[in-house]
Amino acid sequence: MRKTTAEAQPAPSNAPGNVGDVRKANLARVLAVIAGAHSEHRLSRADIATRSKLTKASVSSLVADLLESGLIIEIGVHRDGERGRPSVGLILNPARCVIGMEINVDYISAGLVDLSGKLLTHQIVPRLNRAVNAEQVIDALSELSSQMQQAAEAQDLKILGGGLAVPGLVDEKSYTVLQAPNLGWEAQTLDVRKLLSETKTRFRLFNEANASALAQQQLMEPAERDFLFVSGEVGIGGGLIIDAELFAGPQGHAGELGHVVVQPEGKSCSCGGRGCLETVAGQEAILTAANLGVAARGVSRQQRIERLYQALESGQEPANIAVADAGKSLGVAVASAMRLFNVSTVVFGGHFAALERWLLPATTSSLRTYAPSIAGQAKLRFSPLGQTGALIGAAHSVVGDLLESPHQLVG
C-alpha cells in the first residue's frame, strides 16, 4: 500500500524530527485508540478518525499500514440496521501475543498474554530456586518457555516478544540481576536468549514488584490511575505507577518500600540496615513473630503460612499481634511513601492480599495516626492478582512497548 522509498535504516536514537516521525506518532495514536476501546468493541475507520482527531483520509492510510503490520485485523462489515454504508470493524489482532515469565523463590512460571492484555494460557511450576545457580533456573524456565511457544504455534499465535520478572533489582540493559537476596543471587547476568527462540523480538527484564504494578494498572479505575503497588512476598517490593507509567527512578530501582525505615531502634535487616519495614512486615518476620519461625524444621514456607492463617482464624494472640504490628508498620511506611510520591492510592499484593482482614484495620489506623491530613483521601486496596500478576505485567508492558512503536513492524 505504501511506497517506502527511504529504506530501513536503523534510525539513530536521537534523530531529529522529520515528517516520518509524524507518521510514527500517528500510527501509535491510531493504535492507542483501537487498544483503548473497550474489548470486543470494534471501531470503524470513521470512529477512529473522530476519536484520534485525525482526518478520515489519514486514518485510512494509517490503518492500511497497521493491517500490513499484523497488529490489527478487520473483522468484516457491521450491519447495525442504521442507514449508510456499513462499517468495517478493526480490532487488535488476537493472534499476536507476548510471552511473560517469572522466577520467584518457590516457583517459575510462564504464560501468553495477547495484545489486549488478556492471559491466554499459563503454567506455574513449583520449584525451589533459593540459592540455586541462576543458569540452572534459566534452563528450567527455558523448558517451560518452549512448551509455551509450542502451545502458541499450535494455536497459530505469533509471539512478538517476551518479559521476565524476578524478585530483585535488575539492570535491564545488560539483563543482569544485580541483587536478589531472597534468591541468593548477586550480579547474575541471565542468558535470556535461551528463553525465546526468535532473537529479533523484544525481550525485557523486570523487577517483580514493578511487573505486578504494571499488571495491577489494568485493573484500576480511572480515578485511581496513580498508585503505589506494594508487593508482600518473602521480601517487600514496590512499584509506582504515575500518569500511566512506571516510575522507575534513575537506575530503575524506585519504590523499594521494604527498606523504608519504620523503627529507628528496630531489628537488623538483611540489607545491613536497621528497622526496615521488611524486618516487621516481611513474610519471615511475621512468621517468626507468630511463633512459626524456622524452628519447625522440614516444614515448607507454604505450610507455615497455612498455619499462620489457621492461627489468625482461631484468634491466637501471637499471630494476631504479629500481623497487627506488620500492619502498623506498613501504615508508617505507606504514610511516608504517600507523602514523598504524592499518591493517594496504595494497592497491597502478594501475601498481603490474603492478610487483608487482619492487616487493613491496623494499617488504616496507623495511617490515621501518622498522616491524618491525607488519611482521609487515602485509598487502600488489595490486589486480586495471584501468582500470575508478575508475568502478566511483564508481558503486558512489552505489549505496551510494541503498541507505542508500531512503525517497527510496518513496511
Partner DNA sequence: CCATATAGTTCAGGATATAAACTAAATGGT
Partner DNA sequence: ACCATTTAGTTTATATCCTGAACTATATGG
Residues interacting with a second copy, by CB under 8 A? 12, 14-19, 21-22, 25-26, 29, 52-54, 58, 226, 238, 242-243, 247-257, 259-264, 271-275, 332-333, 335-337, 339-344, 369-373
List the single partner that 249 binds among a second copy, DNA, none, CB under 5 to 8 Å by kind. Answer: a second copy
Which of 400, 398, 308, 314 shows the shortest CA–CA distance to 352? 308
Q: Could you tell me the smallest distance in angstroms from the CB atom of residue 239 to a second copy?
A: 11
Which of 101, 169, 170 shows the shortest CA–CA distance to 137? 101
Residue 87 sits at φ, ψ, to 5 deg, of -90, 160
List the single partner that 337 binds among DNA, a second copy, none, CB under 5 to 8 Å by kind. Answer: a second copy
Question: What is the grid cell recorded at 209?
Answer: 514488584
Judge contact between 192 and 139, C-beta under 8 A. Answer: no
Packed helices 45-52 and 56-69: angle between N→C axes, nearest 10 degrees = 110
Does residue 8 touch DNA according to CB under 7 A? no
187 burial type by CB count under 10 A (0-12 exposed, 13-18 middle, 19+ buried): exposed
Residue 92 sits at φ, ψ, to 5 deg, of -60, 140
* Nearest residue (CB) to DNA, 49 versus 371: 49
List the single partner that 56 binds among a second copy, DNA, none, CB under 5 to 8 Å by kind. Answer: DNA
Question: What is the grid cell recorded at 283?
Answer: 513474610
List the single partner that 271 binds among DNA, a second copy, none, CB under 5 to 8 Å by kind. Answer: a second copy
Q: Which stretch binds DNA (CB under 7 A): 58-66, 174-182, 194-202, 258-266?
A: 58-66
Which of 261, 262, 258 shows the shortest CA–CA distance to 278? 258
Does residue 44 touch DNA according to CB under 7 A? yes
> What is the Cα–Cα distance from 145 to 309, expressed in whole angstroms?
34
**Contact pattern for DNA over residues 77 through 106, marking x by CB under 7 A:** x-x-xxxxxxxx------------------
Binder of DNA out of 3, 173, 200, 297 (CB under 7 A)? 3
* Nearest residue (CB) to a second copy, 137 versus 343: 343
Q: Could you tell me the smallest distance in angstroms from the CB atom of residue 399 to DNA?
A: 23
List the single partner that 57 binds among a second copy, DNA, none, CB under 5 to 8 Å by kind. Answer: DNA
Q: Could you tell me the smallest distance in angstroms from the CB atom of residue 115 to DNA?
A: 20
* E-assigned strand segments in 54-134: 72-78, 87-92, 96-103, 107-114, 119-126
Does residue 126 touch DNA according to CB under 7 A? no
Question: What is the grid cell recorded at 48?
Answer: 477512529
List the single partner that 373 binds among DNA, a second copy, none, CB under 5 to 8 Å by kind. Answer: a second copy
Q: Could you tell me the smallest distance in angstroms from the CB atom of residue 400 to a second copy?
A: 19
* Count of Cβ atoms closer than 10 Å to residue 380 Cβ: 20
Buried b (16+ CB within 10 A) or exposed e, 330-362: bbbbbbbbbeebebbbbbbbbbbbbbbebbbeb
> What is the Cα–Cα distance from 306 to 285, expressed in whole angstroms?
15
Judge contact between 108 and 165, C-beta under 8 A. Answer: no
Binder of DNA out of 36, 41, 57, 128 (CB under 7 A)? 57
CA 173 to mean position of chain CA atoms:
18
CA distances from 313 to 11, 233, 317, 335, 355 (A): 60, 21, 11, 28, 11
Binder of DNA out of 55, 136, 302, 303 (CB under 7 A)? 55
List the single partner that 251 binds among a second copy, DNA, none, CB under 5 to 8 Å by kind. Answer: a second copy
* Nearest residue (CB) to DNA, 1 versus 244: 1
List the single partner that 81 binds among a second copy, DNA, none, CB under 5 to 8 Å by kind. Answer: DNA
Query: Binding residues for DNA, per CB under 7 A?
Result: 2-6, 16-20, 22-23, 26, 44-47, 53-58, 60-64, 77, 79, 81-88
